[in-house]
A = this chain, B = another copy of it.
Amino acid sequence: MQQTYKFVTAEEAASYVNNGDIIGFSGFTPAGCPKEVPTAIAKRAEAFHAEGKEFKVGMYTGASTGDSLDGALARANAILFRTPYQSNKDLRSALNDERAPYFDMHLSSIAPHLRFGFMPKPKFAIIEVCDITADGELVLTTGVGISPTICNLADHIIVELNHNHPKELRGFHDIFEPLDPPHRLPMTLLTPSDRMGSTVVKVDPKKILCVVETWRDDEVGGFTPTDEVTDKIGQNVANFLASEIKSGRIPEEFLPIQSGVGNIANAVMASLGTNPDIPTFEMYTEVIQDSVIELLRNGKIKFASGCSLTITTPILKELYKDLEFFRDKLVLRPQEMSNSPELARRLGLITINTALEADIFGNVNSTHVMGSKMMNGIGGSADFTRSAYISIFTTPSTAKKGNISAIVPMVSHVDQNEHSVNIIITEHGVADLRGKSPIQRAEEIIENCVDPAYQQILRDYLALSGPCHTPTDLHACFGMHTEFMKTGSMLGTNWENYK
């Protein structure tokens, strides 16, 4: 079947790509990203640069990618622009050094914005698949991302056929691309396990420029093990949700969970998995991590819908051995579906994401260190938060050995605002912000969530302002941040300097 396509080396595939070209890449997180061709493009860029020639490409991805993609192209200084999310060390350096213009956007919006023409259309789509048919059926691997859209929009498709993923992944995907307004129809899902699309991405075979074979694993990093702080955060989340069920504010049949990425998210999943007051549940989320697979195996999670299987290689290999067990328990969808505000609000998601910092009024910074430096990006956190049934943000109360309070008078960048954040949880406790005025919220957060070393500093900040709706001192509001930048610790913050 596949012989109708032109099989080439990664270098030959990369040779089609020229300076200024725009590329859309498959995958979501390192899961499902192409690996061989991006690295070959980076080498091609380096060769051009060595000859003193320009070589940069525009890059659209689903979310973050593997090091062989973002890392290789960033190190080659080959990035014309990059959107919508990243988490690679070298790319992070590049965009904070102003070597790579980066547009940090909501993950649900990139595919439609590309179709609408809000950003230039990609010339190439580079897509990892586990199978390809002669009539243009692409079976994706572990991440869907924006693959359907870039396959439709691109002039040329370069396929990476990855033999490390079984062809039997056919059936695990639910590929749907909505019509654009004014012709858009409702998304029909009523539960996380419903389906509304195809199992494959269907393309015109003539658009497939070439196929590169590979046997490389997804570059999914392991997570730091949970510790006392993250365990306590996880327990606080589980106990809070159990008490909400008891009070009737969350229905007793429970609601689907969306959970972010990382070691706090893993601790939260572990606590939900073991807390006897949490019923069995479903996930409707972006990223399906190792911890979800374990809970699907033991039955605590009934079903998981996501955009990617971001699973470490040993766990993924075990999953592939039991593929039939998981066939009715997992589905992977484009991020336009997995992160859809329509579906988040209809399904009634309980959303659990991580804050980089939060302020005493409930605003959350998800992206910027000290207001200036991009960490990763907003990802899907606001897609979910904004339309959640109930939105939760977690964070350890301090960072840098206690020298940073994660809770400050004003966040140095706002990614989720007070209007959309319902609950903040640290290892110290839970702040319930629903229905509270800014001053009431500040008291709730300071008393329940802030590290004891910082409580009085924040109480004193509040007292700087006279009567008003939201006590904000525009001289002093970043006093904790600037103290840290000067001394390496927020602990010495002295409001007398601002009076």
Contact = CB atoms under 8 A, between A and B. Distances in A.
Interface of A: 81, 83, 95-98, 101-106, 113, 116-120, 180-182, 184-188, 190-191, 247-249, 251, 253, 255-256, 340-342, 345-348, 363, 368, 370-374, 378, 382, 386-387, 389-390, 412-415, 417-420, 422, 434-437, 439-440, 465, 467-472, 474-475, 477-478, 481-482, 485
- 3 closest cross-chain pairs (CB), A and B: A181-B348, A414-B414, A371-B472
A371 B474 contact: yes
A102 to B, nearest CB: 5
A77 to B, nearest CB: 14
A474 B470 contact: no
A186 B187 contact: yes
Contact of A117 (B81, B249, B370): B249
A251 B182 contact: yes
A315 to B, nearest CB: 29
Contacts of A420: 106, 382
A204 to B, nearest CB: 22
Contacts of A249: 116-118
Contacts of A98: 439, 467-469
A98 to B, nearest CB: 5
A186 B347 CA distance: 10
B184 A386 contact: no
A105 B477 CA distance: 23
A469 B376 CA distance: 11
A114 to B, nearest CB: 10
Given A372-B465, A373-B469, A386-B386, 19 more contacts: A116-B249, A116-B390, A118-B249, A181-B255, A181-B348, A182-B191, A182-B251, A182-B255, A184-B345, A185-B346, A186-B188, A341-B341, A341-B386, A342-B342, A342-B346, A368-B470, A371-B470, A372-B469, A413-B470
15 contacts: A98-B469, A101-B436, A103-B436, A180-B251, A180-B348, A184-B190, A186-B187, A341-B387, A342-B346, A368-B470, A370-B472, A372-B470, A382-B419, A382-B420, A417-B417
B184 A437 contact: no
Contacts of A248: 117
Nearest to A418: B104
A374 B419 CA distance: 14
A371 B363 CA distance: 13
A185 B481 CA distance: 46
B477 A371 contact: yes
B101 A182 contact: no
A468 B105 contact: no
Most buried by B among A106, A113, A371: A371
Contact of A414 (B97, B117, B363): B363
